[in-house]
Amino acid sequence: MTTTQLPAGTWQLDTGATTVNVSVKKLGLFTIPATLAVASGTIEIDANHEVTGVDITVDASSYSSKNTKRNKSVLGSDFLDADNHATISFRTKLVSFADTTYTSAGVVTIKGQSSPVDVAIADVDVTGDTGSFTATATVDRKAIGVGKLPTFVVGQDLQLEVAVVARRIS
């Protein structure tokens, strides 16, 4: 059952079923895909059926692409600095709904540096105490201090797509 009236309560992300895909352009031509693992996450929905809080934590050291050398580089100090900054987080206090579309203005924190991010939310589906949706966003890697390489080598915009599965726990 697809619904626009979200059931109230606390929803916990199913970390095994939730996926984070990130991609960036290399040399303006090639799309470089990678994945990250969600460590934890909750969504709060109030009695008025409005989302009043989203808190998602991603394991920075879980970055994985098809290239071992790239993985080591991205996990290093020039990019994610996973040894010193173990997590990436996204937080927002409000998700808006208008004309069948959900959006959110939140904050992403990488390497201890926070930056605003606009998120589009689609494919919302709730059946009983299980819900799913897809969230997409573009993150400016320079604004959050990720990567010293010039943007003509590695693009400035990181494309994120998170496929979320969550379960109501209260």
Residue 1 pLDDT class (50, 70, 90 cuts)? very low
E strand map for the chain: 9-13, 19-26, 30-45, 51-64, 87-92, 95-98, 101-110, 113-127, 130-140, 157-168
DSSP β-bridge partners for residue 13: 166
Write down all domains in the chain, each with its CATH number in brackets.
9-168 (2.40.128.110)
State how far Cα 106 lies from the chain centre.
Answer: 10
- Give this prediction's pTM: 0.89
Q: What is the pLDDT, as a whole number, of residue 159?
A: 94
- Residue pLDDT, tens place only, 3-62: 457 899 999 999 999 999 999 988 778 899 999 999 999 999 999 999 999 999 999 999
Q: Which of 23, 52, 17 is nearest to 37 (CA)?
A: 17
pLDDT tens, position by position, 117-156: 999 999 999 999 999 999 999 998 877 777 666 555 777 8
